[in-house]
């Protein structure tokens, strides 16, 4: 699966550097670069918003964009579990 990253400014009250992440034409995530105020994680890429399978209560931060892309790909490829009895889920 190929991801396309499109630079964008995101209004989070920080410096704003961010990118939209598309997979097969679908917007799947918004990543934002963390400013110096985040100490240990300054310069990291934070999963500001994940859609669908990437929507999480504990969004992670990544040291660089390749690491973020790797994580996004892995989580998009996880097989969807059945949602109701009889639903086959996703192959």
Q: Out of 17, 20, 27, 41, which residue is the one contacting other proteins (CB under 8 A)? A: 41
Q: Which stretch binds other proteins (CB under 8 A): 1-9, 18-26, 58-66, 76-84?
A: 58-66
Q: Which stretch binds other proteins (CB under 8 A): 1-9, 20-28, 57-65, 73-81?
A: 57-65
In whole angstroms, give the CA distance from residue 91 to residue 44.
Answer: 33
Nearer to other proteins, 28 or 61 (CB): 61
Element (H, E) at 49: strand 45-50
CA distances from 5 to 8, 14, 69, 70, 83 (A): 9, 20, 9, 13, 30
Rule CB under 8 A: which residues touch other proteins? 12-14, 34, 37-38, 41, 46, 57-59, 61
């Amino acid at each position: 699966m190929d991801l396309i990253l499109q630079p964008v400014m995101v209004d989070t009250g920080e410096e704003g550097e961010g990118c939209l992440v598309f997979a097969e034409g679908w917007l799947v995530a918004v990543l934002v670069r963390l400013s110096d105020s985040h100490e240990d994680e300054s310069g990291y890429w934070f999963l500001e918003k994940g859609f669908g399978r990437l929507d999480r209560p504990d969004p992670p931060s990544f040291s660089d964009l390749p690491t973020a892309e790797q994580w996004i790909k892995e989580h998009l490829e996880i097989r969807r579990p059945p949602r109701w009895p009889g639903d086959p889920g996703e192959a």
